[in-house]
Amino acid sequence: MKAASKTNAARLLDGLGIAYELRPYEVDLDDLTAISVARKIGLPAEQVFKTLLAQTTPAGHIFAVIPGDAELDLKKLATAAGIKKAELASLKEVEPLTGYVRGGVTVMGAKKPFPAFADETIELFDIISISAGQRGLQLVLAPADYLRAAEAELADLTKDTHG
Place 160 in a pLDDT band, splitting at 50, 70 and 90. confident
Query: What is the spatial distance between Cα 157 and Cα 90, in angstroms, rounded to a whole number?
Result: 19
- Per-residue pLDDT, averaged over 102-126, amounts to 95
Averaged over 75-104, what is the pLDDT? Answer: 95
Query: Who contacts 63 (Cβ-Cβ below 8 Å, separation ≥6)?
Result: 51, 52, 53, 54, 107, 110, 114, 115, 116, 117, 150, 152
Cβ atoms of residues 104 and 90 within 8 Å: no
Distances from the Cα of 80 to the Cαs of 53, 125, 133, 139, 140, in angstroms? 15, 22, 25, 25, 26
Long-range CB contacts (within 8 A, 24+) of 36-45: 37/68, 37/129, 37/138, 38/68, 38/69, 38/129, 41/129, 41/138, 41/140, 43/127, 43/129, 43/140, 45/69
Average pLDDT of the segment spanning 71-90:
96
Domain boundaries, the chain: 8-155
Question: In the predicted model, is pLDDT for residue 2 greater than 80?
Answer: no
- Secondary structure (3-state) at 59: coil
How many angstroms separate the CA atoms of 30 and 113, rounded? Answer: 29
**pLDDT of res. 107:** 96
The class that CATH gives domain 8-155 is: alpha beta
Instruction: Give tens-digit pLDDT for 4-60.
Output: 578 999 999 999 999 999 999 999 999 999 999 999 999 999 999 999 999 999 889
Question: H/E element holding 24?
Answer: strand 21-24
User: What was the pLDDT predicted at 4?
Assistant: 54
